Structure 1
Amino acid sequence: MNSIQRILHRRFFIKLFHWEYWSFNSVYLCLYPVWFLLCLRARSFFFFAASNPSIRNGGFLCESKKDIISIIPPQYHPATAFFSIPANGEMVLRDLERAGLQFPLIGKPNIGGRGRGVKVLRDEQDVIDYVRHAYLDFHIQEFVPWKNEVGIFYVRYPNQENGMITGIVGKEFLSVTGDDRHTILHLLQQDKRAIMYLASLKKIHGDKLNFVLPEGERMIVSPFGNHARGSKFLDVSHLADEALTHVIDKICKEIPDFYFGRLDIRYDTWEALKEGRNFSIIEVNGAGAEPTHIYDPRHSLFFAWKEIVRHWIILLRISRMNKKVGHRYLSFREGVAMFREDKEWSKKLAAMTE
């Protein structure tokens, strides 16, 4: 690697030349006037609460995963056990055994986002450690065996019988391929994406990063389909054909009053998913969901802005339709309280992620 390449592999320059790593406010700052105009059109700063009436705040912030899972037909999501804090690790293990959940498992905060506080639990000690550091109510669910993950953005206008897919993001988990000479850490240091998450990877893997992988062996170093956890997002919206749309529309219409959001799905093969087989919904995101196909490195920031605004307009239309049939927006006081609550949750999530 020459001197110029070494400079370009520094975090500052990687972030500078790749907008997908910019902060939320940096990306959205120029769009706030558009959001304000939409609020004026709705005559409410918190119109989004009416978009998905069966989900708290429409799924914009502070929604409970326990409440969301309760309205999803059980055949579509992984087996899950919920726990309130304070919790005892030994009692949690007994409850998991009674529920028939076996390792590996996934621990998640009941309120969260962007992969914060999510952890793979491989044995009983992992569960005990997770419970000990849980500052929020949490749930533990079975580890879905399917190797592929996709995020499908779905919308349906309340006055229409069928919905549509407005974006699909394919997810490539952060991984390295061995060469039988260099350590995993060295290989990660050559990858611009891995460099952006190196600190957290060191915390997760520790001394294991000093291991030398055999030539050609691939290791997934972050098995989470979150951009904030290292996954590469690819826009595969062109795959939204009639068969897939029919399957996703059928599923979403079985979720009461769900009109706008993104399904994060683990699946076996694309053909099986299109046939409604061998998949599991691991997350349902409502009004606060991003059309995450925008984070494809091939897309410009202008493309991202266009897609965000397009989805905001759809969100407004759906919310106004639901308002006309009796579903309410949040009052100004309720909206402010929601943001304050989210700020408190974020502090606790940060503590769980450390």
Structure 2
Amino acid sequence: MKKIKLFLHKLTNWEYWPYQIVYFPVYFQYLYYAVKARSFFFFNASNPTIKNGGFFMESKKEIYDLIPQKYYPKTLLFIKNTSIEVVKKSIENNQLNYPLIGKPDIGLRGTAVKKIDNETELTNYIKRADFNFLIQNLIPFQNEIGLFYVKLPNERTGTITGIVQKEFLIITGNGKNTIRELLNQDPRYQFQIKALEKEYPNKIDELLPKNESINLVPYGNHCRGTKFVDASDKISPKMIDTFNKICDEINGFHFGRMDIMFNNYEDLENGINFQIVEINGAISEPTHMYDPKHSLLYGWKELTRHFKYMYQISTHNKKNGARYLTFSEGIKEFKKHHEYYDTILKF
């Protein structure tokens, strides 16, 4: 019965549908633009300083290096098979403190992103990471958004086209139910129980005291139970002006979503008390569309709107010296992409 209820929940909430269905109209739009651009890989020019425009195989560390250090947490890159001793020594020398965040340098929708609370968890993460990975300070702010930024051709300034607010997988105890029982009260959280059993094997069946809250996934990823809420009403002229100034400091960034942790919207408008979790380029989704209140038609409208922006930016940048990948280069990158994701999914 439980499985049937979860299946019906997925069926009636399009935010859980396979991307092949959600992106159906974009396939035709992409083919149209590819013909016009005479390239299947025109998106490479959307963000010329980011590998493949940020569509696939882009390094998070290389993107961080484009951003002024004041805007993101202290981050260290480690190559696959770096010894545990070297990682620990580097963390100590660079004065990173627990809790930490571990993540792949080339990401896959939150796969292998982990909060690391102590040396034992760090050791386990290093042993399992069969890929280049980052260790960074946990950002101290409690709120997270995805802010979509677009700077169109021939425009002196860019704009914010949408904001998604992220509601983490936080549960509050009633003094009667275990964490597992509380998770079972929300279909969104039920989908996460299997993953949480692995992450918290000794905790998931504990009784959670009344009014005590616990954040089981402290990063805003939809596939890990985060609820996406459209907060585009928070966009203001002052916020747009602030992020134009910030994005002007990020060389070659024209199109994408900035995932940001912050204190409150007033501070964010003023450009204080926030840090950039990461920047996603050409592959970015306008994730505010996944708010449960929005219809699939709304989602299609937002996807096609932003895909048009990416095409306009890419073709403009091409005229100004950026390049598209050749067909053979693009195929090689796609092969690397699939081989890499086969590896990271084993984490």
Normalising by structure 1, we get a TM-score of 0.96
Query: Which among 103, 106, 114 is matched to residue 108 of structure 1?
Result: 103
Give the structure 1 partner of residue 302 of structure 2. Answer: 307
Give the SS at the match of 2:148: strand
Give the structure 1 partner of residue 59 of structure 2. Answer: 64
Query: Which among 251, 254, 279 is matched to residue 259 of structure 1?
Result: 254
Give the structure 2 partner of residue 282 of structure 1. Answer: 277
Q: Is the 8 A contact 2:153 2:312 kept in 1?
A: no
Give the structure 2 partner of residue 94 of structure 1. Answer: 89
Query: Residue by residue, what CA displacement relative to the aligned partner does 1:124-154 show, whole Å, maximum 9, x if unpaired?
Result: 1111111111111111000001000000000
CA-CA distance at 1:91 after TM superposition: 1.4
Indicate yes or no: 2:157 matched with 1:159: no
Give the SS at the match of 1:200: helix
Distance 1:260 1:113 in 2: 19
| Structural mapping, 1:18-29, within 5 Å | 18-29=13-24
Query: Residue by residue, what CA displacement relative to the aligned partner does 1:163-198 show, whole Å, maximum 9, x if unpaired?
Result: 000010000001212111111101111111001222
Letter in 2 for 1:181: K
Indicate yes or no: 2:296 matched with 1:297: no
Give the structure 1 partner of residue 223 of structure 2. Answer: 228
Distance 1:326 1:38 in 2: 19
Distance 1:141 1:310 in 2: 34
Query: Residue by residue, what CA displacement relative to the aligned partner does 1:39-87 show, whole Å, maximum 9, x if unpaired?
Result: 1122211100001000000001000111111110000000011111111
Indicate yes or no: 2:186 matched with 1:195: no
Indicate yes or no: 2:242 matched with 1:247: yes
| Structural mapping, 1:33-182, within 5 Å | 33-182=28-177
Distance 2:32 2:305 in 1: 14
Q: Is the 8 A contact 1:263 1:285 kept in 2?
A: yes
Aligned length: 347
Q: Is the 8 A contact 2:229 2:292 kept in 1?
A: yes
CA-CA distance at 1:283 after TM superposition: 0.6
Q: Is the 8 A contact 2:108 2:341 kept in 1?
A: no
**Aligned-residue CA RMSD (Å):** 1.2
Q: Is the 8 A contact 1:7 1:13 kept in 2?
A: no
CA-CA distance at 1:217 after TM superposition: 1.9
Normalising by structure 2, we get a TM-score of 0.97
Unaligned ranges ≥5, structure 1? 1-5
Give the structure 1 partner of residue 312 of structure 2. Answer: 317
Distance 1:228 1:8 in 2: 18
Distance 1:30 1:165 in 2: 24
CA-CA distance at 1:121 after TM superposition: 0.8
Letter in 1 for 2:32: L
Give the SS at the match of 1:351: coil
Which range moves more in the overlay, 213-222 or 14-23? 213-222
CA-CA distance at 1:7 after TM superposition: 5.8
CA-CA distance at 1:335 after TM superposition: 1.2
Distance 1:27 1:157 in 2: 25
Query: Residue by residue, what CA displacement relative to the aligned partner does 1:300-351 show, whole Å, maximum 9, x if unpaired?
Result: 1110000000000000000010011111111111111111111011111101
Which range moves more in the overlay, 247-256 or 21-30? 21-30
Distance 1:113 1:162 in 2: 31
4+ aligned runs moved over 6 Å, structure 1: none
Letter in 2 for 1:60: F
Which range moves more in the overlay, 133-142 or 21-30? 21-30
Give the structure 2 partner of residue 334 of structure 1. Answer: 329
CA-CA distance at 1:18 after TM superposition: 0.8
CA-CA distance at 1:253 after TM superposition: 1.0
Q: Is the 8 A contact 1:184 1:213 kept in 2?
A: yes
Query: Which among 272, 287, 300 is matched to residue 267 of structure 2?
Result: 272
Indicate yes or no: 2:335 matched with 1:350: no
Which range moves more in the overlay, 27-36 or 297-306? 27-36
Letter in 2 for 1:29: F
Give the structure 1 partner of residue 10 of structure 2. Answer: 15
Give the SS at the match of 1:340: helix
Q: Is the 8 A contact 1:178 1:218 kept in 2?
A: yes
Give the SS at the match of 2:161: strand
Distance 1:110 1:312, change over 3 A: same
Distance 1:113 1:249, change over 3 A: farther
CA-CA distance at 1:113 after TM superposition: 2.6
Distance 1:135 1:71 in 2: 26
Letter in 2 for 1:216: N
Distance 1:56 1:314 in 2: 19
